[in-house]
Structure 1
Amino acid sequence: MYINTASQKLMVSSVCEALNVSENELDDLFEDCYNNLQKDHHIFVLDNQYDFFKEYVQEHLSKK
């Protein structure tokens, strides 16, 4: 998987292509992560966020 990080727009496009999702779905993913792991929590645990995104990527990663 290659993610172009030359600009924010290219980075978003690369991630969407790699995961086969739209920009709206990517925004929803970040919103879900916030609501599940950060909202109303006093401690931010990066391991939980890592696991959340790892599972999502494993389910959505494009095979091409």
Structure 2
Amino acid sequence: MNVGGIDRILRIAVGLILILGTPQLLGYIGSNWAWLGLLPLLTGLLRTCPAYKLIGMNTCPMKK
């Protein structure tokens, strides 16, 4: 787990907005953005981001 806190909430929100909002606003072109919305949604729900792992970043608080 390397995604936590506000980062996680923002990823889920952006993912949902892209998935649910853009097809209605942009029609067919918006459906491509909806597919792109899966990435932030899944990384937020699974609490892990492969890009963060590559660069050694972690926004999840450490467990004691």
Measured against the shorter chain, the TM-score band is: 0.3 to 0.5
State the TM-score, normalizing by the size of structure 1: 0.32
The one of the two structures with greater contact order (alpha-carbon pairs below 8 A, sep at least 6) is 2
Structure exhibiting the larger radius of gyration computed from Cα positions: 2
State the TM-score, normalizing by the size of structure 2: 0.32
In terms of fraction of residues, the more helix-rich structure is 2
